[in-house]
Amino acid sequence: MTTTIEPAEDEASVSSLISVRDLGVSYDVARTGKKLVAIEGVDLDVREGEFVTVLGPSGCGKTTFMNVIAGLVKPSAGQVLVAGEPVTGPGPDRAVVFQDYALLPWRTVFDNVKFGLEMQKALKGGGWRDRVQEAIELVGLSGFEHSYPRELSGGMQQRVGLARAIVAEPRILLMDEPLGAVDALTREVMRAEIEKLIAATGKTVLFITHSIEEAILLGDRIVVFKSHPGAIKEVIETGLARPRSERSIQSDPRFLELRDHLWDALQGEATAAAVSK
């Protein structure tokens, strides 16, 4: 198939909610006394309401990149701006959804979601209970408010994590392979649910994944990372209409074109990484 993938438009000309400029992250390795460069020279802009998927080989710095935006990791160079303000730590405008659910096993669904408000010190007033209940209903867990994580399936636990993230009404959701620990069928269902959730809330999303199909199905744009050190290889507009059904979109010529292009790009990065070891 002939690939005619067009790069994303010039981001500097678009008003951005997230702006990443010449970002670098490096660590001192005590064992060797050398410096490990995890990310180098990353520039990216994310518009408000945009769903950006981040794709790349293992160890390319995707999670480190997200953690800098979350304020959990400090950059060694460059900066990240959210709504024009430098990121200096975690904040109520950003929420993280992790791959391993990160639920508190001794808390019920209601109390795990409530924890999202506790972290933001947002339990003042009488409306917080309604906010928790609305978040639970939004992710389809009505009736499970008093259940504990051990009583839930993996997909349901991830729904709790989503509800906990959105209950505090952040502008940005940072999602680090949130579907990586669920089975294939649950993953397909959850992808559709995430798309509906984002359509209903209008959140800006940065979504890390190892799945080419997932990156295409969910993203407005796809950011492809290269490894050693981590840097952006290319940014691609998907150009696919919403809503997107996994079954219907797989016969779309644009989907097939994107999949082949991304497969070639990632295969090339994996080969280069193996040679450099």
User: pLDDT value at position 3?
Assistant: 45
Whether 184 is covered by a domain: the verdict is yes
What is the token pair recorded at 219? 């993203």
Evaluate whether residue 93 is within a structural domain: no
**Higher per-residue pLDDT: 119 or 69:** 69
Domain end marker among 169, 194, 221: 169
Residue 10: is it exposed, middle or buried by C-beta count within 10 angstroms (0-12/13-18/19+)? exposed
Q: Is residue 34 part of a domain?
A: no
Among 131, 150, 169, residue at a domain's last position: 169
Q: Based on the domain organization, do 160 and 182 belong to the same domain? A: no
Mark whether 184 and 69 lie in a shared domain: yes
Residue 83: inside a domain: no
Task: Give yes or no: residues 154 and 176 share one domain.
Answer: no
- Say how many CA atoms lie within 13 Å of 158 toward its Cβ: 22
Q: In CATH, what number is assigned to the domain containing residue 258? A: 3.40.50.300
Residue 145 has pLDDT above 90, yes or no: yes
Specify the pLDDT at position 84: 94
256 plus 212 within the same structural domain: yes
Look at residue 26 and tell me if it is in a domain: no
63 and 181 housed in the same domain: yes
Distance CA 50, CA 71 (A): 20
> Among 126, 149, 169, where does a domain finish?
169
Is residue 57 in a domain?
yes
> Domain for residue 21, yes or no?
no
pLDDT tens string 95-138: 999 888 789 999 999 999 999 898 877 677 778 899 999 999 99
Q: How many separate domains does the chain show?
A: 2
Q: What is the pTM of this model?
A: 0.88
Q: What is the pLDDT of residue 5?
A: 65
Judge if 277 and 160 occupy the same domain.
Answer: no
pLDDT in tens, 165-205: 999 899 999 999 888 877 788 888 888 888 888 888 899 99
Whether 183 maps to a domain, the answer reads: yes
Please give the C-alpha separations between residue 18 and each of 47, 52, 232, in angstroms, as whole numbers. 7, 11, 16
Q: What is the pLDDT of residues 6-51, one digit of tens each?
A: 555 554 445 799 999 999 999 888 888 788 899 999 999 999 999 9
Q: What is the pLDDT of residue 225?
A: 95
149 and 125 inside one domain: yes
* Of residues 229 and 144, more confidently modeled: 144
208-241 pLDDT, tens digit each: 999 999 999 999 999 999 988 899 999 999 999 8
Tell me: do 176 and 229 sit in the same domain.
yes
Name the residue range of residue 135's domain.
99-169
